[in-house]
Structure 1
């Protein structure tokens, strides 16, 4: 059934998901607050800052006016940076006139509150202005999805029917969706893998090889699982698409801005320089701080996250941080 959907956030991932929806026959609008970018999408059907080599479907209409973008929509897809999620949700709640399904495809933890994105959306959008909230997450790069590379990800909601609704919206012959009801696990895996990707990039930048890469990914997954379970997640989620799947793709690809940031740090660049030249949000930097604080609150041991925090926020030499992890006290592999 054809649905009317507004995508809030015209970055690379929002644009790629808008294309999937448009190609599936839905009425798709995309909203952003930069007039030049919105004009480019409507006039040239490109979004060159984020996806310079691609055209997007002519049927996608872009707006700077939020009320126009969301009018009478069946579903709203939030794809804005974590730091902007609460303010955009507030704007939406003050504007919406009906009760759409709420979906988000962003990955991070809110600073200070340490809340997952769905928690922020549930807080800011009252039940009178929405139906269920669902999460779309998994191993995916916008640069590949927009070129129809085969991709499989997860739609998660505590309301299974909402997850199935999202599955139906997006699924086609190159974009496969599985459902899940473990929202905590899916969102936690999505957020925390960005921290490990910074570490994996740093390992590469320092000149280490595949052994080190396997080590940081495997032990990183153990950290993600420990914190996720302490938050209430199903441990099985972390061996699925939004856990190990997302971790693999983010820790091994040059498409990953978190990996690229870590790689530059490993090569000796300063964090401020890396972030200034990246041109896009590196979610793993802020997530590292939030996850470290949350781990301390929940008494969960996360040595890789702590080491990356020390490099990012305390100025520790990255070579020293790597060696200190290797010299930690001996442990059993399956300690939890």
Structure 2
């Protein structure tokens, strides 16, 4: 049986970080009313009293007549047809823990580029499918090279909407439409989601290399080899007639590796500069998804045995206490 999103479907956003805040800004420009689940008391009060998120993208001002902000998850979900997940993957279980409202008639969109850490080793889409019984036809992604800081300032951005049904993708796309947003569409739920997760690992590797003093010539080689690892992993784990030389795959990889806004690059940079992994994590003000992804992808790859020397190097540095400098030197002969 087909599942079609209605053209007047109501949207709600789960999360209060920078990306969630930027997404609410986009939706509020197109929708009469947007639900927003915010469990942080400081952020909730700031939105209600000043129409701003005091912790993330504080310059972005909201028309609160168009936003129904609440710390009651069930109330927010109950009033929505499309639920957009935009909390860090490491905390998604906690965010959804109070949920008793059924998702059976909802369409759930992940805007999260991370993997559920712990013992399940699942992507967000896989987790929602398994834990809440939603078929993949009721699951989608919004992704692409899209730092929240630039989206909130109206910088030209390319987003990709992924759904198994192209018509549903188009409906979701219209809700994210803006003069500075260029939209493309895909049905490759598996490939796009895993590419968005893997690129965080390679951004960490780039940050480590920069911190160690390697130059642009080497970084280009490192990123090119990272793109090759992404393609090999996708081709082996879920073969499909996908084209990875487009923005949702390689574009997202490039911006995460090069941008000053990249949390994962920043984490790698701190480690390359000599910080311990623990102290670098403590210095981060936002979640670097690549830290969890490195462990989860290594676990998943034990089934597929794809050659991924960069991802392996990052894992050893993060989780086995390997020397970043020595590990990078050992990696160099493995690159082409």
TM-score normalized by structure 2?
A: 0.91
Would the aligned equivalents of 1:203 and 1:266 in 2 still touch at CA under 8 Å? yes
The alignment covers a number of residue pairs equal to 328
**Deviations 1:158-187 (CA, angstroms, capped at 9, x unpaired):** 222221221121122111221100001110
Instruction: State which of 152, 171, 189 in structure 1 corresponds to 2:195.
Output: 189
User: How far off is 1:142 after superposition?
Assistant: 0.4
Does 1:256 find its partner at 2:262? yes
Q: Distance in 2 between matches of 1:235 and 1:326?
A: 31
User: How far off is 1:2 after superposition?
Assistant: 4.9
Would the aligned equivalents of 2:104 and 2:134 in 1 still touch at CA under 8 Å? no
Q: Distance in 2 between matches of 1:248 and 1:131?
A: 30
Instruction: State which of 147, 155, 162 in structure 1 corresponds to 2:153.
Output: 147
Look up the match of 1:109: 115
Give runs of aligned pairs for residues 82-231 of structure 1, distance below 5 A.
82-89=89-96, 91-92=98-99, 94-96=100-102, 99-111=105-117, 112-127=119-134, 132-231=138-237
Q: Distance in 1 between matches of 2:239 and 2:176?
A: 25
What RMSD in Å do the two structures reach over aligned CA positions?
2.0
Would the aligned equivalents of 1:157 and 1:183 in 2 still touch at CA under 8 Å? yes
Could you list the runs of 5+ residues in structure 1 that have no partner in the other structure?
none
User: How far off is 1:97 after superposition?
Assistant: 7.5
Q: Distance in 2 between matches of 1:30 and 1:148?
A: 21
**Greater CA deviation, 71-80 or 81-90?**
81-90
**Greater CA deviation, 208-217 or 138-147?**
208-217
Does 1:319 find its partner at 2:322? no
**Greater CA deviation, 38-47 or 143-152?**
38-47
Q: Distance in 1 between matches of 2:320 and 2:114?
A: 21
Secondary structure of the structure 2 residue equivalent to 1:239: coil
Q: Distance in 1 between matches of 2:248 and 2:72?
A: 33
Does 1:66 find its partner at 2:64? no
User: How far off is 1:220 after superposition?
Assistant: 0.4
Q: Distance in 1 between matches of 2:141 and 2:85?
A: 10
**Greater CA deviation, 165-174 or 10-19?**
165-174
Q: Distance in 2 between matches of 1:103 and 1:188?
A: 15
Does 1:284 find its partner at 2:290? yes
* Counterparts in 2 of 1:8 and 1:57: CA distance versus 1, 3 Å: same
**Greater CA deviation, 274-283 or 112-121?**
112-121
Look up the match of 2:46: 40
Could you list the runs of 5+ residues in structure 2 that have no partner in the other structure?
1-6
Look up the match of 1:15: 21
User: How far off is 1:79 after superposition?
Assistant: 0.9
TM-score normalized by structure 1?
A: 0.91
Q: Distance in 1 between matches of 2:313 and 2:289?
A: 17
